[in-house]
Each structure stands twice: as structure tokens, then as C-alpha cells.
Structure 1
Amino acid sequence: MSEQPDQQTKKPFLYVVVCASGIADDVGKLITAAQEAHWDVGVIATPQGLGFIDTTAVEAQTGYPIRSAWRSPGDPRPLPPADAIAVAPATFNTINKWAAGISDTLAVGILCEAYGFGIPTAVLPYLNSAQAAHPAYRQSLDRLREMGVLIGGYEPHQPKAGGGAAHFRWEEALELLAPKVSRRL
């Protein structure tokens, strides 16, 4: 009997990149949906995003440590390689830095490299309409689309109106990725 895992039974691995947003603590909804769709999941948080999620609950749900900083040389990789990436919720800041190639955090560094590796990536922006009105935001979305990034359809909410958490569809990331991932696996 072989001791190697059967490649047919290996689940695809999804990285969920979480940014600092008021709805980030609901990331468990995306993790649950992914696990129900037979994904293994690991979470990468922006440094500020860590303060918006229940790290203990997320690590218990995924079975992996949350990553937010680069590992030291020689340290083991705590997550398997990604088969796909979902960025949710994605902030104005992260979207613009990613599109500009500003790799100043582990999360954005992973996103910048994903393009070069050809890893299917979906982004679910979550921002207000005043931020979305800035010309850099539309230019960033255009650049990400040119890179093959799949962009969710969330409509920015009104500023200082309590956000639009009720309209944020976490599972949209999986819907966007499904056609791309089925071709890779």
C-alpha cells in the first residue's frame, strides 16, 4: 500500500486574503462555503486586517495558522501552495497597491506573485462610493482585469452610512473562480 496521498483525493487549496474592513470578521462565511465546496483553506491577512478578525476562530476553522508576515529564511512554509486565491474583503488600499505592484506586505506580495504563477485570483472589493470615485480605483480595477483577475460585483456603499455588509456576497469569490479552477485541477 502506498504511503503517498492519492492525487485524486487531494483537495484544492484556496488562499483567502483578508483586508482591514468592518466586515472582515465575517470571513468565516467564505471559509465555510469553500470547505463545503471541498477546498482546503488558508488565510493571509494584511497586517491591519489581523485586528478585524477573530484569529483563534479562523485558525480553528481552517486548521492552519493565519499568515500576515514574511517567514524567516529556513522556516517551513505554513501553507501549501495555492490553487486559487480569493481576496475578500478587498479594500481601496490593497486594490491600488496590488495593481501598482507595491509589494510592501506579505498579502500584497502573494497577490503580486500570483500573476506570475498563473494562479486564478478573484477579488471582492468592499469600499465606499467616495473611495470608488477616485480615478486610481477604476484604473486599478482595469489593470487587475488586464491581469486576468476576476472582480466581484459589489456596489460601493455610501460613506458613513454603516457599510453594505448585508449586500456583500462572500460566496461570489468561489463562483468567479469555479470555471478557472476546474480547468487547472
Structure 2
Amino acid sequence: MTTLYLLGSAAPPVLEIASVIEDAQARGYDVCLGLTPSAARWLGPQLAGLEQLTGHPVRSEYKAPTASDAWPRADVALFAPATFNSINSWALGLTSTFVVGFAAEAIGKKIPLIAMPCVNAAYAQHCALDRSVAELRGMGVTVLYGPGGFEPNQPGERHPYPWHRALDVVDDARQRPLPRP
């Protein structure tokens, strides 16, 4: 079975994460869920159920250096929803959260990475976003942003998040894994 690390930030689509996990499991993935601390707070009452659903602990903090890893090794990772802060932090190598730290390290480990931002049109006007997306793409990350991926909505508007598109790209990455160091 292919192990998928599903990483999420505190943006409204993270509230749909249980159905995304179920969809990924139906596609044949063993899913491990990692969240930013804010996303974990948003999902607080659901965390026990999400752990039961995945069969793995939900992680939102770095483990202690002496602790064993509670998750199997990742075959592919999907960072979605990825907020403005998470995308920019990741591109800059600022790894103050577990999920951004994992994503940054996964580049060097050659784990296939797919990211799908979730930003509104106001954030999308900030030059840092385009620069960060370009940086991540330059490092080999598949960033689903723009036509065919996530397209920003106006502040306060909610549009369906294209989870199916993200999982389709994860499926494609599973078909063509990168060589590992």
C-alpha cells in the first residue's frame, strides 16, 4: 500500500479533511494526517476520530529527537490546503511548524510533493505568493495553483476546493516516483 502524507493548514477546506481521507483510502492510500497547530485547533473535537479513521496519530508538532517515528515512511505527500503563510514559509525554509518542516525536508529526500494553496484574491496580489510558488516549483514541487488547480476567490467568498484534482495528481505521482537518495 502507498503511504500518503496529507498535510493541511488552517484554511476552510481543512474542515473537509475526513472525506478527503476516505477518498484517498478508497484510492488505495495509507493516509497519515499532519496539521499546522492552528488547523489542529480548528479540528480539535475531530482529532480522535481522524486518528481512528487513518489508524495513525494526527501530528501537529515535531516529535522529540529520541522518540520513534509513529508513521510509516512517506511515498508521496500532499500539502493542501496550504495557506499564504505556509507556502511562503516553506519556500523560504522557515520550518517552525511540523508540516512545513516535513515538506521542506521531503524535497531533499526526493519524496514526490504536491501542494495546493488556498488563498483569497487579496493575498494573491502580494508579490511573495508568486515568488514562493515559483521557488517551490523550481525545487520540484508540483504546485496546483492557477488554471487546472486552485484559483483564488474574493475575500469572504467560498468556492468548492478542488480536492479531486489534488488526489488525481497524487495518483499520477504514485505512477512515476522520484529516485530517492
Question: TM-score of the superposition, structure 1-length normalised?
Answer: 0.88
Choose from 81, 102, 112 the match for 1:110.
102
**Pairing 1:35-184 to 2, within 5 Å after superposition:** 35-53=25-43, 54-152=46-144, 153-161=149-157, 163-164=158-159, 167-184=160-177
Larger Rg: 1
Aligned residue in 2 for 1:6: none
4+ residue runs over 6 A deviation = none
* RMSD, aligned CA: 1.4
1:32 partner letter: E
1:34 aligns with 2:24: yes
Contact 1:21–1:52 at 8 Å: present in 2 too? Answer: no
Question: TM-score of the superposition, structure 2-length normalised?
Answer: 0.90
- In 2, Cα distance between equivalents of 1:31 and 1:171: 11
| Aligned-residue identity in percent | 35
* 1:171 counterpart SS class: helix
- In 2, Cα distance between equivalents of 1:93 and 1:45: 14
Instruction: Give the superposition deviation at 1:184.
Output: 2.7
* 1:34 counterpart SS class: helix
* 2:176 counterpart SS class: helix
Give the unaligned 5+ runs of structure 2: none
String of CA shifts for 1:92-131, please: whole Å, max 9, x gaps.
1000000111111111110000100011111111110000
